[in-house]
């Protein structure tokens, strides 16, 4: 029997009694594992060998783990320093113990977050205690790292400890398929009858063509089913993909896109929205102020006067206003916008695209900045889907109907509304959706009908309904992840970003 060289090599190296892995065969034949895999599949379809598959888990230690193998786990170092400071007797001062431990930078946080979890003691009010019964010499995580380093099999390790090490970024676990090859009876017979290597050509070259040799050679067959190396190519981030889709949907619903500055005058961010200058919400809004430039160059004088009037005396016969102090000085200060409603004000004022006649629809999908506390649903910056509709005689039904139509395009059909308060809309509604995996209600946006005190100074004399929706929350409902940091920033979950399918 004549077979391509690599197949002959595999056939001769394989055994009928003992399965051999692709790697073993590669080592024995001095061929590349992918060549062996290809040859094995060919031989299998000819019935000469059997290829069995099994899943294998390989665990590798990260650089951080190697550091700890040398220096000790941060929490263990903290415990030892705490013992030295007598914290097993009475609470010791945190700062001193950390100084003693020699822990630096991120290691301090790592030590603190694992210390209590692993029962080394407690940390409270700047003081640390050490549990005299804790035994760092039998730290399960440290032991597991040492065992892995010594090349011991992962089978002997506790699943939970391994998971914890993976969560801490100390090990990387990779799943792979291991294939092993055994000769079949037919393979044995073929070998006994004798197999010879046939010269095969893997690639058609210009030389083969010009010499005419191609006519006589035997071409190797391609196995298009063999495993290929995985390549993660570049791809549009799912946040960007969804932002683009939101834009398409809104354009499809007849909206035009607004553009404008990320750093803007408080006038556009707050004052035009009837947010009193001494209102706690303006500090509570917690925006980031710019130091340079500190002030905007110019604000439209007549509009400033009208907005000031609305704040001081109110609008209309029954209007009261706030009677609170109002200065252009404060209004001219520049902040990073805490919402893109600043753009809606710029557009509604006629400043961006001139006076607008109803009906009009505008939107933006843009970044906003807030000094929030970081947690699974809050970041210092996120994307807001801003929008408004200007028309005669709008009602809350129009607002709700617009949301139902919008969210339905993303497969979300269970939107709920809750009455809310905004200084600039009346009535106002928060929007909620149900998280697909936790089943919890997630706030996804805020909306309302702009009040007279906002519209009158802007010179708008029909109704305007408006909203700000969080793009990241929409994404959560669509893809089911729970932590916004999975898709934003340095902690982003790369596998999630690589593998999430685009929904259409």
**Applying CB under 6 A, which residues contact ligand PHE?**
339, 341, 422, 425, 446-448, 466-468
Q: How many CA atoms lie within 13 A of 183 on its CB side?
A: 21
Residue 219 or 421: the one with the smaller Cβ distance to ligand PHE is 421
Residue 180 or 446: the one with the smaller Cβ distance to ligand PHE is 446
CA diameter of the chain = 108
Residue 131 or 372: the one with the smaller Cβ distance to ligand PHE is 372
Taking CB atoms within 8 Å and a gap of at least 24, the contacts of 65-72 are 65/145, 65/165, 65/170, 65/171, 66/149, 68/142, 68/145, 68/170, 69/145, 69/146, 69/149, 72/136, 72/142
Strand partners, 449: 465
**Which are the contacts of 94, defined by CB distance < 8 A and separation ≥ 6?**
123, 126, 127, 128
DSSP 8-state assignment for residue 92: E
Q: How far is the CB of 388 from ligand PHE (least distance, A)?
A: 7
Residue 73 or 250: the one with the smaller Cβ distance to ligand PHE is 250
Q: How far is the CB of 338 from ligand PHE (least distance, A)?
A: 7
Distance CA 465, CA 446 (A): 11
Q: How far is the CB of 148 from ligand PHE (least distance, A)?
A: 48
Q: How far is the CB of 331 from ligand PHE (least distance, A)?
A: 18
Q: How far is the CB of 243 from ligand PHE (least distance, A)?
A: 17
Q: How far is the CB of 411 from ligand PHE (least distance, A)?
A: 23
Residue 285 or 479: the one with the smaller Cβ distance to ligand PHE is 285
Residue 173 or 281: the one with the smaller Cβ distance to ligand PHE is 281
Residue 162 or 449: the one with the smaller Cβ distance to ligand PHE is 449
Distance CA 503, CA 253 (A): 19
3-state secondary structure at position 55: strand
Q: How far is the CB of 167 from ligand PHE (least distance, A)?
A: 34
CB of 243 within 8 A of CB of 384? no
Residue 267 or 467: the one with the smaller Cβ distance to ligand PHE is 467
Select the residue whose beta carbon is closest to ligand PHE and give its number: 468
Q: How far is the CB of 361 from ligand PHE (least distance, A)?
A: 14
Distance CA 23, CA 38 (A): 13
Q: How far is the CB of 277 from ligand PHE (least distance, A)?
A: 17
Token pair of 90 as six digits = 């009475």
Measured CA angle at 432 (ends 381, 400), to 5 deg: 110
CB of 424 within 8 A of CB of 450? yes
Q: What share of the chain is helix, strand, coil (3-state, %, to 5)?
A: 40, 25, 35
Distance CA 16, CA 189 (A): 11
Residue 35 or 341: the one with the smaller Cβ distance to ligand PHE is 341
């Amino acid at each position: 029997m004549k077979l391509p060289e690599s197949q002959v090599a595999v056939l001769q190296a394989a055994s009928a009694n003992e399965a051999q892995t692709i790697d073993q065969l590669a080592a024995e034949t001095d061929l590349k594992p992918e060549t062996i895999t290809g040859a094995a599949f060919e031989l299998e379809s000819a019935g000469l060998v059997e290829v069995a598959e099994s899943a294998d888990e390989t665990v590798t230690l990260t650089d951080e783990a190697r550091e700890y193998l040398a220096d000790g786990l941060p929490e263990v170092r903290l415990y030892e320093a705490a013992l030295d400071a007598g914290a097993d007797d009475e609470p010791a001062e945190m700062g001193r113990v950390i100084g003693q431990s020699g822990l630096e930078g991120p290691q301090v946080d790592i030590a603190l977050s694992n210390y209590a979890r692993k029962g080394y003691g407690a940390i409270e009010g700047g003081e640390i205690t050490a549990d005299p019964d804790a035994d760092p010499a039998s730290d399960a995580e440290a032991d597991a790292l040492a065992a892995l380093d010594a090349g011991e099999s992962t089978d002997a390790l506790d699943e939970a400890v391994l998971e914890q090490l993976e969560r801490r970024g100390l090990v990387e676990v990779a799943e792979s398929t291991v294939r092993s090859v055994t000769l079949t009876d037919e393979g044995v017979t073929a070998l006994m009858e004798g197999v010879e290597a046939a010269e095969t050509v893997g690639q058609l070259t210009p030389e083969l063509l010009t010499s005419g040799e191609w006519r006589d050679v035997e071409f190797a067959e391609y196995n298009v089913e063999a495993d290929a190396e995985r390549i993660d190519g570049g791809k549009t981030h799912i946040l960007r993909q969804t932002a683009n889709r939101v834009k398409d949907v809104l354009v499809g619903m007849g909206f035009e896109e607004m553009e404008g500055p990320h750093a803007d005058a408080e006038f556009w961010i707050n004052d035009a929205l009837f947010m009193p200058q001494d209102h706690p919400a303006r500090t509570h809004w917690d925006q980031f102020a710019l130091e340079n430039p500190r002030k905007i160059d110019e604000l439209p004088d007549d509009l400033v006067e009208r907005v000031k009037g609305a704040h001081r005396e109110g609008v209309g016969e029954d209007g009261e206003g706030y009677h609170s102090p109002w200065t252009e000085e404060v209004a001219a200060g520049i902040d990073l916008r805490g919402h893109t409603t600043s753009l809606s004000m710029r557009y509604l004022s006629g400043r961006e695209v001139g006076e607008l006649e109803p009906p009009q629809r505008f939107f933006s999908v843009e970044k906003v900045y807030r000094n929030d506390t970081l947690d699974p649903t809050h970041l210092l910056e996120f994307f807001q889907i801003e929008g408004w509709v200007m028309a005669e005689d709008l009602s809350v039904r129009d607002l709700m109907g617009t949301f139902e139509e919008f969210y339905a395009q993303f497969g979300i059909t269970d939107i709920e509304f809750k009455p809310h308060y905004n200084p600039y809309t009346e009535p106002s509604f928060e929007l909620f959706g149900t998280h697909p995996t936790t089943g919890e209600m997630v706030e996804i946006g805020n909306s309302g009908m702009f009040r007279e005190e906002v519209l009158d100074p802007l010179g708008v004399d029909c109704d305007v309904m408006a909203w700000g929706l969080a793009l990241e929350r929409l994404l959560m409902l669509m893809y089911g992840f729970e932590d916004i940091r999975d898709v934003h920033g340095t902690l982003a979950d790369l596998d999630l970003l690589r593998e999430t399918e685009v929904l259409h």
